[in-house]
């Protein structure tokens, strides 16, 4: 099995584990580049404070579509905090039955967030798109031009043609083990250019060996990608690192233009 050192978990909810500080230390010790996403702007301060001195962990400023119903009033706080970070998420749309009721409000907020990101420039945005991929892509196309910010579609479950459209819009995809274990999603991942792929666990919402996944478990995704693309695991890991570096450079470029 390959080492976790230098792997990438670009979507993990470290603050939803029993002990945030411990989860951060574990990811830091495993040397996994981890994006600690948040679900409400109120969670930002603590995530930021505990990650800012780390080498491998960065916090992202989120407003989760499933929480829009109860947290819409925190949008002003989200906007106030935006200058503090280059990373935004988890944001997006969720049209599954439980959250369908708030879909109009979700769309308003997602559009607003994308416009603020476009205005600020150089943000990297990790996006949720459950049962709403077309709407998510329409929003991105309309509100966040690729030279004003970067999108990473997290746990993408769309079709090959939607993946192609997303690729043409400049999006990256963060892939997890559950996606690779599903034949249909796996085939879609195989259709995406290798240079647009990142890896994620979405811990603690996925499990590995019966426990909530931790960032180090992302090596199983690397092994899955290695099989799928018929390349060495070390080459898959190096490709994902290169992709992350390119993503960060594009964001920096957008921030300074
Ligand atoms: Mn998530």
Q: What is the pTM of this model?
A: 0.97
State the Cα–Cα distance between residues 149 and 118, nearest whole angstrom.
Answer: 6
| Residue 257 CA to ligand 1 centre (angstroms) | 30
**Dihedral of CA 165/167/169/172: which sign?**
positive
| Residue 228 CA to ligand 1 centre (angstroms) | 24
Q: Specify the 3-state DSSP secondary structure of 84.
A: helix
Residue 2 inside a domain? The answer is no
pLDDT at 40 over 80: yes
pLDDT of residue 115: 98
| Residue 233 CA to ligand 1 centre (angstroms) | 25
State the Cα–Cα distance between residues 72 and 21, nearest whole angstrom.
Answer: 27
| Residue 130 CA to ligand 1 centre (angstroms) | 11
State the Cα–Cα distance between residues 233 and 222, nearest whole angstrom.
Answer: 6
Residue 3 inside a domain? The answer is no
Cα 104 to Cα 47, 93, 94, 142, 252: the distances in Å are: 29, 10, 10, 16, 32
Domain count within the chain = 1
Residue 126 inside a domain? The answer is yes
| Residue 14 CA to ligand 1 centre (angstroms) | 10
**pLDDT confidence bin for 161, thresholds 50/70/90:** very high
What is the domain extent for residue 26? 8-256
| pLDDT tens digits along 181-227 | 999 999 999 999 999 999 999 999 999 999 999 999 999 999 999 99
| pLDDT tens digits along 65-102 | 999 999 999 999 999 999 999 999 999 999 999 999 99
State the Cα–Cα distance between residues 2 and 238, nearest whole angstrom.
Answer: 12
| Residue 39 CA to ligand 1 centre (angstroms) | 8
């Amino acid at each position: 099995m390959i080492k976790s050192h230098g792997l990438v978990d670009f979507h993990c909810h470290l603050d939803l584990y029993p002990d945030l500080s411990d989860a951060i230390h574990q990811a830091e010790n495993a040397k996994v580049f981890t994006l600690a996403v948040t679900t409400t702007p109120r969670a930002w301060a603590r995530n930021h404070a505990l990650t800012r001195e780390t080498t491998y962990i960065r916090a992202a400023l989120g407003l989760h579509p499933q929480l829009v119903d109860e947290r819409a009033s925190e949008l002003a706080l989200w906007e106030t905090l935006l200058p503090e970070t280059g990373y935004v998420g988890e944001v997006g749309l969720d049209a599954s039955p439980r959250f369908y009721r708030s879909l109009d409000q979700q769309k308003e907020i997602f559009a607003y967030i994308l416009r603020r990101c476009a205005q600020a420039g150089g943000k990297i945005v990790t996006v949720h798109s459950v049962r709403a991929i077309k709407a998510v892509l329409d929003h991105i196309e309309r509100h966040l031009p690729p030279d004003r910010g970067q999108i990473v579609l997290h746990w993408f479950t769309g079709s090959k043609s939607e993946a192609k459209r997303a690729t043409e819009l400049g999006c990256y995809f963060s892939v997890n083990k559950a996606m690779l274990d599903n034949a249909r999603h796996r085939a879609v991942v195989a259709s995406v250019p290798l240079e647009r792929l990142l890896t994620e666990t979405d811990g603690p919402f996925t499990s590995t060996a019966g426990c909530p996944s931790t960032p180090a478990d992302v090596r199983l995704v690397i092994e899955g990608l290695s099989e799928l693309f018929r390349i060495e695991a070390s080459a898959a890991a190096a490709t994902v690192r290169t992709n992350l570096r390119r993503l960060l450079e594009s964001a920096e470029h957008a921030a300074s233009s």
